[in-house]
Amino acid sequence: MNDMRRTEPTVTENTTKMQARKVQVYYGDNHAIKDVDVDIADKTVTAFIGPSGCGKSTFLRCLNRMNDTIDIARIEGDIRLDGEDIYDPKVDPVQLRAKVGMVFQKPNPFPKSIFDNVAYGPRIHGLARNKAELDVIVEKSLRRAALWDEVKDRLDAAGTSLSGGQQQRLCIARAVATNPEVLLMDEPCSALDPIATAQVEELIDDLRSRFSVVIVTHSMQQAARVSQKTAFFHLGELVEYDDTSNIFTNPKDSRTESYVTGRIG
Amino acid sequence: MTDMMDTSANAPRRTSLKGNSALVARRKRRERLLMGVGLGAILIAFTVLFILVASLVSTGYTAFVQTQVTLDVHVDPAEISEEQLPRGGFQNVLTRSVLDLLPDADPETDLRAVRGILSNGAQFALRDQVAADPSLIGQTITLTVPLSDPYDQLNKGNINRDTPESERRLNDQAVVWFDQLDQAGRISTPFNWALFTNADSRFPELAGLKGALVGSFWVLFICFAVSFPVGIGAAIYLEEFAPKNRVSDFIEVNINNLAAVPSVVFGLLALAVFLNWFGLPRSAPFVGGLTLALMTMPTIIIATRAALKAVPPSIREAALGLGASKQQVVFGHVLPLAMPGILTGTIIGLAQALGETAPLLLIGMNAFITSAPTSPFDASTALPTQIFIWADSPERGFVSRTSAAILVLLGFLVIMNALAIYLRNRFERRW
All structural domains of chain B? 63-191 (no CATH), 210-427 (1.10.3720.10)
CB contact under 8 A, B318 and A110: yes
B404 min Cα distance to partner chain A (Å): 46
Q: Give the rounded percent of residues in chain A with a pLDDT score beyond 70.
A: 94
In B, minimum Cα distance to A110 occurs at B315
Q: Which of residues 225-244 of B touch A (CB under 8 A)?
A: 243-244
**How much is the average pLDDT of A45-63?**
89
The residue-averaged pLDDT of A157-183 equals 90
What are the chain A neighbours of B316 within 8 Å (beta carbons)? 69
Residue B430: pLDDT band by 50, 70, 90 thresholds? low
Q: Is residue A6 part of a domain?
A: no
The set of residues, in sequence order, having a beta carbon less than 8 Å from that of B80 and lying 6+ positions away, is B88, B89, B90, B93, B130, B137
Range with the lowest mean pLDDT among A10-19, A213-222, B25-34, B254-263?
A10-19
CA distance B405 to B236: 38
A186 domain residue, yes or no: yes
Q: Are A189 and A201 in contact (CB under 8 A)?
A: yes
B320 to chain A: which residues are within 8 Å by CB?
66, 69, 97
Query: Quick one: pLDDT band at residue B404, thresholds 50, 70, 90?
Result: very high
- Nearest to B307, CA basis, from B351, B327, B337: B337
Could you tell me which of A41, A42, A44, A76 has the C-alpha nearest to residue A59?
Answer: A76
Neighbours of B416 (CB within 10 A): 17
Q: Which residues of B touch A99 (CB under 8 A)?
A: 323
Give domain status of residue A102, yes or no. yes
Domain ranges, residue A251: 15-260
Q: Give per-residue burial for A175-184: e unless 16+ CB within 10 Å, then b.
A: bbbbbbbbbb
φ, ψ for residue B375, nearest 5 deg: -150, 165
Percent of chain B at pLDDT > 90 equals 43
Sorting pLDDT into bands at 50, 70 and 90, what band is A3?
A: very low
Decide if A7 is inside a domain. Answer: no
Q: Is B337 on the interface with A (CB under 8 A)?
A: yes
Q: Does B333 touch chain A (CB under 8 A)?
A: yes
Residue A127 counted as domain residue: yes
CATH number at residue A39: 3.40.50.300
What is the rounded distance in angstroms from the CA atom of residue B275 to the CA atom of residue B284? 10
Chain A residue numbers with beta carbons less than 8 Å from the beta carbon of B333 are 110
Helical packing angle, A114-125 and A131-144, nearest 10°:
120
Give me the pLDDT at residue A210, please: 84
A125 to chain B, closest Cα gap in Å: 8
Instruction: Looking at the complex, report in whole angstroms how far the Cα of residue A155 sits from the nearest Cα belonging to chain B.
Output: 19
A265 pLDDT band (50/70/90 cuts)?
low
Give the pLDDT confidence score for residue B79 in this predicted structure.
83
Say if residue B202's pLDDT is above 60.
yes
- A60–chain B nearest CA distance, Å: 12
Interface contacts (A, B; CB < 8 Å)? 65
Distance CA B323, CA B327 (A): 11
Task: Select the residue of B312, B323, B333 nearest A121 (Cβ to Cβ).
Answer: B323
Is B335 part of the contact surface with chain A (CB cutoff 8 Å)? no
Please tell me the distance in Å from A53's CA to the nearest CA on chain B. 20
The per-residue pLDDT of chain B, averaged, comes to 88
pLDDT tens, position by position, B224-250? 999 999 999 999 999 888 888 888 889
Instruction: Tell me if A206 sits within 8 A of A45, measured CB to CB.
Output: no
Contacts of A168 in chain B (CB under 8 A): none
pLDDT for the residue A12: 43
Q: What residues of chain A lie within 8 A of the CB of B243, using their CB?
A: 71
| Average predicted confidence (pLDDT) for chain A | 86
- At residue B17, the pLDDT reads 72
Chain A residues with CB-CB distance to B321 below 8 A: 64, 66, 97, 101-104, 175
| B244, B315, B328: residue with CB nearest A71 | B244
pLDDT tens-digit readout, A110-147: 988 999 999 999 998 888 888 999 999 999 999 888 88
Q: Give yes or no for residue B8 having a pLDDT over 70.
A: no
Residue A7: the pLDDT is 43
Q: Does the distance separating the beta carbons of A71 and B333 come in below 8 Å?
A: no
**CA distances to B54, B281, B288, B296, B349 from B223, in Å:** 32, 16, 8, 8, 10
Q: Based on the structure, what is the number of domains in chain A?
A: 1
A230 domain-assigned: yes
- Minimal Cα–Cα distance from A27 to chain B, Å? 15
Distance CA B383, CA B378 (A): 16
Cross-chain residue pair A110–B317, CB shorter than 8 Å = no
* Closest residue in chain A to residue B334, using alpha carbons only: A110
